[in-house]
Structure 1
Amino acid sequence: MKHTLCVTSLARIASASLFIIAPSAVAEDLEPRSYANTPVGINFLLMGYSDLHGNVTANPSIPLQDAKLNIKTVVFAFARSLDVWGRSGKFDIIVPEAKLAGSALFNGEPKERNVTGLIDPRFRFSVNLYGAPAMSLAEFPRYQQDVIIGASLAITAPLGQYDTSKLVNLGNNRWSFKPELGISKRLGPV
């Protein structure tokens, strides 16, 4: 009973803190069920496609006006569920490629760009710290989720197409590290 009260209190504090932080947040990059438990040894292979046309931007930090861009993106991803010292975890790799073509105004000057190449790949390691033990496929049907607390570290490597003489590039030419903490609570029957 005391353990349940502690977890409930922690969940309430975390939820309340979101209301304080949320007004300054501009976007969210949390995948649905990021910290859901998965049987150990399961592999996931994913592919996605996106085709954007019009006044879209490849990099929102560059003030382009009157953009007429066409960005076609293909994303390949691989993930594997792991046993991390008795806790469920996951390692994934995301490798996107894009073709960008179009024109825009930058400081009143017309600019054009036509480029195909890799976007910076992302590598992520995540582990469920509480509520999601590592289980085999045979053990998994008996698992009942309640509260899961997980953490991850995503690393983006500067391996995408980047040309210093160009304003718009597919890669960012810099490393990025994104730590994340997630809490999941099942509400109702599954």
Structure 2
Amino acid sequence: MTGSSDPVGLGPSSEGPILSQEAAGTSTRHPAKSRFRSVLAIRLGAASLAAAASGANGQDLEPRTYANTPVGLNFLIVGYSYLWGGVTVDPTIPLEDAKLQAHGAVFAYARSLDVFGQSGKFDVILPTAWLSGTASFAGQPRERDISGFADPRFRFSVNLYGAPALTLAEFANYEQDVIVGASVQVSAPGGQYDPEKLVNLGTNHWSVKTELGVSKRWGPVTLELAGEGTFYTDNTEFFPGHQTRSQDPIYAVQGHLIYSFGANIWGSLDGTYYAGGSTSIDGGPHRNLQENTRIGATLALPISRNHSVKLYGSTGVSTRTGSNFDLVGIAWQYRFGGGL
């Protein structure tokens, strides 16, 4: 797969499905067995499910984002995540004593592409969430119970080096070394939004996230590193409905140490650091600078030729503004087409 939550991070991210290179055939393998093992090694990803309830703003953790995928494959993803603690769709809102919990669901579709001879991917991510709890704002207690759609996301990604476009049959002989990829993700203001409420599931603005990443494999171990920037348009209907709120870009780095256990099972240790995103109301001073670190873990399990499951979790390590929450989730993926 090419280069991101979820989201769904999903949550989040949103955040795509790929084929694991651990099943690449050698000259001594039977072609049919190599192909079948490659099929089994298709992994779950596509949507960072943290984004289903927390938005795609740099906190997504998506291991194995940069890898090759046979062209012509289609992926359907359904996932569930549970978040608790300092949960908020918009971490720049200065809530205090937050005791919130959120249940997120994400639905996604992805298709692998041939982009001028390089492997690429396009995916659509539709997150939903149910959020409830209490918090204080400006010294006043607030309570919120809300459900609905969060902002949809659309992503196009391409591997620029080390991952040529291959059919499923050709992929059996592919082995990864170094892959360099890039992606662009657009989040549209299509989620639930009430300008008279502080906490909403939608953000009422557009955002564009660009990312550049590299993946290097040494036998069963793969190291991934990526840097990204997310840029925002203004929200012209910010609370209580007549203010304009602008937000600075958020810049993030994330890394993943991935290990293949064999039998097409893999796990990873994940981490991200992101900073920026300070906000201004009606041209006033910028406040609520974010500078946060999160760590997590992921485990991927193949179920059959066409099905796989991913389990994941993450927690905040250091938090300057918002997003000090814990998350666990599960996602299921079904793949078809492309010669399966």
TM-score of the aligned structures, taking structure 1 as reference length:
0.81
Specify the alignment match of 2:77 in structure 1.
46
Aligned positions, number: 165
Deviates more, 1:146-155 or 1:66-75: 66-75
Q: Which amino acid aligns with 1:122?
A: R
Unaligned ranges ≥5, structure 1:
1-25
Specify the alignment match of 1:179 in structure 2.
210
Specify the alignment match of 2:128 in structure 1.
97
The 5-angstrom pairing of residues 125-144 of structure 1 reads: 125-144=156-175
Distance change in 2, residues 1:54/1:158 (3 Å): same
Distance change in 2, residues 1:55/1:46 (3 Å): same
Specify the alignment match of 2:303 in structure 1.
none
Cα deviation for residue 188 of structure 1 reads 2.3
Specify the alignment match of 1:149 in structure 2.
180
Cα deviation for residue 65 of structure 1 reads 1.6
**Is it true that 1:109 corresponds to 2:140 in the alignment?**
yes
Matched residue SS, 2:169: coil
> Do the aligned partners of 2:88 and 2:199 also contact (CA within 8 Å) in 1?
no
Aligned-partner Cα distance in 2 for 1:53–1:176 = 25
Specify the alignment match of 1:29 in structure 2.
60
Aligned-partner Cα distance in 2 for 1:114–1:28 = 23
Aligned-partner Cα distance in 2 for 1:60–1:119 = 15
Q: 1:64 aligns with which of 95, 114, 133?
A: 95
Aligned-partner Cα distance in 1 for 2:148–2:189 = 13
> Do the aligned partners of 2:151 and 2:189 also contact (CA within 8 Å) in 1?
yes
Tell me which protein shows more strand as a share of its residues. 2
Q: Which amino acid aligns with 2:143?
A: E
Runs of 4+ in structure 1 off by over 4 angstroms are none
Q: Which amino acid aligns with 1:180?
A: E
Aligned-partner Cα distance in 1 for 2:61–2:109 = 17
Aligned-partner Cα distance in 2 for 1:183–1:74 = 29
Tell me which protein shows more helix as a share of its residues. 1
Specify the alignment match of 1:20 in structure 2.
none
Aligned-partner Cα distance in 1 for 2:86–2:212 = 34
Q: 2:193 aligns with which of 159, 162, 170?
A: 162
Kindly, what percent of the aligned residue pairs are identical? Answer: 65
Specify the alignment match of 1:16 in structure 2.
none
TM-score of the aligned structures, taking structure 2 as reference length:
0.46
Aligned-partner Cα distance in 2 for 1:72–1:128 = 33
Unaligned ranges ≥5, structure 2:
1-56, 221-259, 261-340
